[in-house]
Amino acid sequence: MSTSHTVTVRILDKEYEVACSPEEVDSLTRSARFLDERMAGIRNSGKVVGLDRIAVMAALNIAHEYLTEGSQSTDQQDAVQQRLHRLSERVGQALAEHKQMDL
């Protein structure tokens, strides 16, 4: 049975604590860097304001790219979708906790 690790990721100059298994640390770190780059690009465009809106736009763009690729098998898509869902939940939880700390 895997133990859970807490990993600190930095997205748009804010740190978030995210729990994950040791096997997922590298993937989580890469995902956070990818998301940070996407969100920074959206923020820097000046068209979207607010962390929540930037996060939603980044999520929509990433989901659109994933769904329109179509080159993966259904099993691969399901596995990636489940992984993305788990990571999304963790990042969402970290954002909610961070928002509570700002209040």
pLDDT in tens, 70-98: 655 667 767 777 777 777 777 777 777 76
Asked if pLDDT for residue 1 goes beyond 60, the answer is no
List the beta bridge partners of residue 7: 18
Annotated domain spans of the chain: 5-102
Mean pLDDT value of segment 44-58: 87
In angstroms, rounded to a whole number, what is the distance separating the alpha carbons of residues 44 and 39? Answer: 8
Task: Show Cβ contacts of residue 86 under 8 Å, excluding neighbours closer than 6 positions.
Answer: none
User: For the whole model, what pTM was predicted?
Assistant: 0.65
> Buried b vs exposed e over 53-82: b needs ≥16 C-beta within 10 Å?
ebbebbbeebeeeeeeeeeeeeeeeeeeee
pLDDT of 39 reads 92
Q: What is the pLDDT of residues 9-49, one digit of tens each?
A: 999 999 999 998 999 999 999 999 999 999 999 999 988 88
Name the CATH topology of 5-102. Double Stranded RNA Binding Domain (3.30.160)
